[in-house]
Amino acid sequence: MTIATPSRLLAEQQRAFERDGYLCPVPALTPDEVQRHLARYTDYVARNKARLDALAPSQKFQVFSETHFVMPWVHEIVTHPRVLDAVESLLGPNLLAWNTNWFSKMPGEKTFVSWHQDGTYWNLTPPNVVTAWVALTPCDATNGCMRVIPGTHTRPAMPQRETYNPDNALSRGQEIAAKVDESQAVDLRLAPGEMSLHHIWIVHGSNANTGAVPRIGLAIRYVRPEVVQDSPAKPMAILVRGQDKHGNFELLPPPRPRGDGAGDTAAEHAAIVERIRAGILKK
Ligand SMILES: O=C(O)CCC(=O)C(=O)O
């Protein structure tokens, strides 16, 4: 029987993740931390409003991806001990934070995420990759919480096509090109400060926000250092726990205190987004 510290996963939670390909909910941030980060997120969106208003959901990655490399407060979420303890329970003691994405859906927006498998286009092997999806607002079926099809991470990969639907939050509108049995779907309901964890190969997606409450969360992709990406340029990451003896990723330092992804760090942010996307978009 595993002795769990407050934020390490219990043996039965680890088994559930291995069996189902996800775990939900897992406590992460305190109410104070949620409030602080939500204020910063709101401020970041307000400062980028003109840019965002001109972009389709599928193009917003330019603003919402890889902010952990340039914004100290996002790096704070990515290195939060409760988040890392849970991820360490699944991936082991050496952890890299490779990619992050803010997924926000405001009431009335048409933005959705089609059924997809991340493993199809991330080009990462072996699949020692876990996403922590950290909620800053309540997430449920009415405002378009994430949905998963349990157990699909253990089945053969499904065919996927690119639709370029502009309302799809995924940059190429990638969707599974086969019947997904939605009767098996599980809603990942989260309270603010809770997170879900999901496997790189689980079938997942989310509907539009038809409720009255914004749905805002940060998806953080953690990898073990031995993971290799088939990529035109070495992918970037931040070492967040343990050590990296493999050198498969270019390790960047934690962001500077003044970095906010705008102003002095805008060019740096854009270059990192471009580099990470080059690895993801590769066929
Ligand atoms: O937030 C969503 O609805 C989708 C998130 C997602 O696809 C992911 O984190 O891999």
Give pLDDT, residue 27.
Answer: 97
Specify the number of domains making up the chain: 1
Residue 263 has pLDDT above 70, yes or no: no
Rounded to an integer, what distance in angstroms lies between the CA atom of residue 191 and that of residue 169? 22
Percent of the chain topping pLDDT 70: 95
- Which is the closest atom of ligand 1 to the Cα of 206? 3
Q: Ligand 1 center to residue 52 CA distance, Å? A: 19
Question: How confident is residue 5, by pLDDT bands cut at 50, 70 and 90?
Answer: low
Helices then strands (H, E): number in the chain? 8, 15
- How large is the average pLDDT for residues 237-257? 95
**Residue 231: CATH number of its domain:** 2.60.120.620
CB-CB contact of 28 with 62 (8 Å): no
| Structure letter (DSSP) for residue 4 | P
Question: How confident is residue 262, by pLDDT bands cut at 50, 70 and 90?
Answer: low
Question: Do the domain assignments include residue 1?
Answer: no
Instruction: Please give the angle made by the CA atoms of 190, 150 and 59, to the nearest 5 degrees.
Output: 60
Give pLDDT, residue 11.
Answer: 97
Q: Which two tokens stand for residue 217?
A: 């969360």
Question: Do the domain assignments include residue 137?
Answer: yes
- How large is the average pLDDT for residues 165-174? 89
Q: Which residue ranges have their beta carbon within 6 Å of ligand 1?
A: 103, 113, 118, 131, 133, 146, 204, 206, 219
Give pLDDT, residue 259.
Answer: 59
Pocket probe for ligand 1: among 105, 129, 147, 204, the residue whose CB has the most ligand atoms within 8 Å is 204
Residue 10, helix vs strand vs coil: coil
Residue 215 has pLDDT above 50, yes or no: yes
Question: Do the domain assignments include residue 118?
Answer: yes
Question: Do the domain assignments include residue 144?
Answer: yes
Q: Ligand 1 center to residue 219 CA distance, Å? A: 7
Give the list of residues 6+ apart from residue 272 with CB closer than 8 angstroms, or none. 66, 69, 70, 236, 252
CB-CB contact of 200 with 124 (8 Å): yes
Which residue type occupies 79? T
Residue 136's domain comprises 20-281
Q: Ligand 1 center to residue 103 CA distance, Å? A: 7
Q: Ligand 1 center to residue 238 CA distance, Å? A: 21
- Ligand 1, atom 10, lies closest to the CA of 118
Question: Do the domain assignments include residue 242?
Answer: yes
Question: Do the domain assignments include residue 189?
Answer: yes
Question: Do the domain assignments include residue 14?
Answer: no
Pocket probe for ligand 1: among 134, 139, 186, 206, the residue whose CB has the most ligand atoms within 8 Å is 206
Question: Do the domain assignments include residue 159?
Answer: yes
Q: Ligand 1 center to residue 109 CA distance, Å? A: 16
Pocket probe for ligand 1: among 61, 111, 113, 136, the residue whose CB has the most ligand atoms within 8 Å is 113
Q: Ligand 1 center to residue 125 CA distance, Å? A: 20
- Which is the closest atom of ligand 1 to the Cα of 112? 3
Torsion of the alpha carbons at 142, 145, 146 and 151, rounded to the nearest 10: -60
Q: Ligand 1 center to residue 113 CA distance, Å? A: 7
Q: If you write DSSP's letter for every residue of 211-279 in order, what string do you get?
A: SSS-EEEEEEEEE-TT-EE--SSPPEEEEEES--SS--SEEPPPPPTT--SSGGGHHHHHHHHHHHHHH
